[in-house]
Amino acid sequence: MPDIRLLGLTRRFGSIVAVNDVTMTFPEGTVTCLLGPSGCGKTTLMRMIAGLEAPSRGTIAFGERDVTRLPARLRDVGMVFQYPVMYRTLTVQENIELALQHDRRFAHDDRRRRVEEVLDVLHLSDQRDRRMAALDSGTRQKVAVGRAIARSCDVILFDEPTTNVEVHAKLQLLRAFKEFRTRFRQTIIYVTHDQTEAMTLADQIALMRDGRISQCSPPRELYDYPDSEFGGWFLGNPGMNFIEPSGERDGGVVFDVFPHPLAAPAGGAARLRAGIRPEYVRLCPPGSAGAVPARLLRRAITIGGQYLLTLAVGQARLKAKVAPDQGAALPTDLAVECPLEHVMLFRDNARLAEAPRALAARASVF
Amino acid sequence: MSRICIEGLAKSYGRGTVLGGIDLDVAPERLTVFCGPPGSGKSVLFRVIVGLEAPDAGRILVDGADITPLPAARRTIGYVPQSFALFPHMSVFDNVAYPLKLQGVERAEIARRVAQAAELLRISKLLRKRPSELSGGEKQRAALARGILKDARIFILDDPLVGLDFKLREGLMEDLAEMRAELGATFLYATSDPLEALMMADDLVVLDGGRVADANRVDRLYAEPRHLRAAELVGFPRCNVIPGKLEGDICTTALLRFRVVAERAPAPDVVVVIRPEQVVFADGAAHPPGAPGGVGTVQLLEDLGAECVVHLAAAGETLVTTAPSRAVAHLDVGAPYPFVLRPRGISVFDRASGARIGSGDA
């Protein structure tokens, strides 16, 4: 099961460039999620890897083998689609057995053992004799996963497999996915528009936008250190706050959300924005160090009983996520702090390597 | 003002009861979210209020005036059906003007009123475009402009964001909240998404099987649901529902014993509703001695970014909780998960009827 490498992969449909010069590696035995909004090119990219779509330019290699011109049936790729593809009149077990029938890498006895193993890891053993038509959508999708992982193929592609199953079945599927990963280590490429699914399942997330890979990183790294404003915005419920500077003073850049100007980064204040995630914005007693006055515009209950606050801070708008007991009763006039250790600076959509620094803090050292 | 009173509204199709006698007061100039599973009666209720369907019984009063006999065209209610329902082959102008043309309003008057509505919703520059050229937020504004043209003081939005991308919905929800503040009108909004319901609502009506399971201000309803179904249908992640026994004022479940402050006659067989945030991660020294709780086993960890939804197995029950990702993101499936339960605010319901009995003592 070798690495999968894409080099300068491009796909045009008329004047539209669906996938634009993508170069990346899917390391052997890992799960990569292709994540992005609809129309970002993630499905086209996956279809090219499967051999269902021919690239306009670039190469696809499975290990040392160039498969760019290889037809789909010769690529040894397993697939799980949005709608499970299977034989409705056969049983769960028969469907999985059938997937193995032409896999010459398994001897007869090995095949039986493999089917048992798959049924076991997906918790399908007690449903092995049920016919597909009698199953709910979630279990059917689980069988589709079983068919894909039973074969010893190099790579399995998942195309938004949870889109058409209800919430409870979706959780079951995610659990099944996590569990089979402890025993089956095929390389997996998983297409989704759901950030939670990607954060939950992936070893690395390739975040896509307009046909390009915006960033490819492990989930927590992508969330904590987005390379671009797009990454900061796309991940999170809601995404990162971005604050425009309101002016320049004492050689520093003024943002309404900080009590002191920030030291101007190399390149000055032009097109600069400060980013902070809503969960890092802190409510504090008025007048405390680092705090600025804020006015509460809107308050809503959100995930796990937390409150999502919409605040006006000078000219800036700020979202803050606070704990249930903190947000239950709030006056309109508040004070908030945006701790600098959680702030990052962006210019032209790209994150600056330089950490933000308050001018006043530096002055106090002398 | 635009206060809507709904009295005894009922509707059946053949033998199927879709609305089973709805009595409701919708406060003016607030946003009331109607939530409930598919088939709970939201859309039919909205279509009856708009005038697209006639009720079998009951009436609808707007500021005291009975509008039930009025045809749809004469009700000054703006209606935005699912996914905005703009005509793709018409310009934004023609889309917005459509209801006025149907009414036979003069061309010059139409132009004047469309311009006025477009200005209010900041879509003046988009009037010549086709819907396919608009962003999601612009489509929403165009759909609302139709309602404004009718001089509506009431807007009805039937699951307007269903099927849209998560991130698009996030932006549209915000847009809508701002727009409503500008318009100051009464909004009725349906969704089957429990988080969207919470995020949008000033007031919340929970429909289930064509009946009102609960109606209240959003934070009251979240904290003290008056019916089990209201507890189950509101909140994200979904609450934990665990069977228990009530003897005197002591409730016993597999997970905890606690004292209940009863608001009505208690029943011996109950279920308790534990919100995810009432299960608190107690790693290491944080576990206070004697506090109810235990050690669960992680079944699945869903990482939402800022927080994780943790699915636990504990004392033969499945428990769902949330915790900051910083604290738990490193945990694997099968890891032990020590937790404390907070009895305060745990709601107790009659197992047979689903009616609220009371809640845990502080």
pLDDT, tens digit (0-9, with 9 covering 90-100), for B80-107:
887 777 889 999 999 999 888 888 889 9
List of chain B residues whose C-beta atoms are within 8 Å of the C-beta of residue A38: 165
pLDDT at site A16 = 92
B165 CB within 8 Å of a chain A CB: yes
For an interface test with B, the pick among A35, A199, A242, A301 (most B C-beta atoms closer than 10 Å) comes out as A301
Average pLDDT over residues B11-23: 93
Query: What ipTM, to 2 d.p.?
Result: 0.92
Among A86, A85, A51, A78, smallest CA distance to A66 is for A51
Cross-chain CB nearest to B307 (options A300, A303, A328): A303
Let me know: does B315 contact B258? Beta carbons within 8 Å. no
Higher pLDDT, residue A26 or A363:
A26
pLDDT at site B164 = 75
Q: Do A302 and B167 touch (CB under 8 A)?
A: no
Higher pLDDT, residue A242 or B181:
A242
A325: enclosing H helix or E strand: helix A324-327
% of residues, chain A, pLDDT over 70 = 98
Higher pLDDT, residue A107 or A42:
A42
Residue B166, C-beta contacts closer than 8 angstroms, at least 6 positions apart: A193, A194, A195
pLDDT at site B286 = 59
Let me know: does A49 contact A155? Beta carbons within 8 Å. yes
List of chain A residues whose C-beta atoms are within 8 Å of the C-beta of residue B199: 300-302, 308
% of residues, chain B, pLDDT over 70 = 98
The chain B residue lying nearest A163, using CA atoms, is B163
Q: Do A196 and B302 touch (CB under 8 A)?
A: yes
Phi, psi of A185 (to 5 degrees): -120, 40
Q: Do B170 and A171 touch (CB under 8 A)?
A: no
Q: What does pLDDT average to over chain A?
A: 92
pLDDT at site B350 = 97
The chain B residue lying nearest A307, using CA atoms, is B199
* Three-state secondary structure of chain B: CCCEEEEEEEEEECCEEEEEEEEEEECCCCEEEEECCCCCCHHHHHHHHHCCCCCCEEEEEECCEECCCCCHHHCCEEEECHHHCCCCCCCHHHHHHHHHHHCCCCHHHHHHHHHHHHHHCCCHHHCCCCHHHCCHHHHHHHHHHHHHHCCCCEEEEECCCCCCCHHHHHHHHHHHHHHHHHHCCEEEEEECCHHHHHHHCCEEEEEECCEEEEEEEHHHHHHCCCEHHHHHHCCCCCCEEEEEEEECCEEEECCCEEEEEECCCCCCEEEEEECHHHEEECCHHHCCCCCCEEEEEEEEEEECCCEEEEEEEECCEEEEEEEEHHHHCCCCCCCEEEEEECCCCCEEEECCCCEEEEEECC
B327 CB within 8 Å of a chain A CB: no
Residue A131 pLDDT exceeds 80: yes
pTM for the whole structure: 0.90
Cross-chain CB nearest to A304 (options B168, B201, B322): B322
Phi, psi of B99 (to 5 degrees): -60, -35
pLDDT at site A164 = 83
Q: To the nearest whole angstrom, how far is the Cα of B1 from the nearest Cα of chain A?
A: 22
- CB–CB contacts below 8 A, A to B: 102
The CA-based dihedral angle spanning residues B173, B178, B179, B181, taken in that order and rounded to the nearest 10 degrees: 130
B91 CB within 8 Å of a chain A CB: no
Instruction: Name A242's bridge partners.
Output: A275
Helix intervals (H) in A85-166? 92-100, 108-121, 137-150
For an interface test with B, the pick among A297, A303, A307, A341 (most B C-beta atoms closer than 10 Å) comes out as A303
- Per residue in B115-161, pLDDT (tens digit) is 988 887 788 999 999 998 888 778 888 888 887 777 788 999 998 88
B8 CB within 8 Å of a chain A CB: no
Tokens 């009700």 map to which residue? B75
Higher pLDDT, residue A102 or A89:
A89
What distances in angstroms separate CA B353 from CA B36, B210, B266, one per listed residue?
18, 17, 12
Q: Do A305 and B299 touch (CB under 8 A)?
A: no
Average pLDDT over residues A225-237: 97
pLDDT at site B100 = 84
pLDDT band at A297; cut points 50, 70, 90: very high
Residue B237 pLDDT exceeds 80: yes
Higher pLDDT, residue B177 or A67:
A67
pLDDT band at A244; cut points 50, 70, 90: very high
For an interface test with A, the pick among B174, B239, B300 (most A C-beta atoms closer than 10 Å) comes out as B300
Q: Do B275 and A219 touch (CB under 8 A)?
A: no
Q: To the nearest whole angstrom, how far is the Cα of A279 from the nearest Cα of chain B?
A: 7
Among A215, A221, A225, smallest CA distance to A344 is for A225
pLDDT band at B285; cut points 50, 70, 90: low
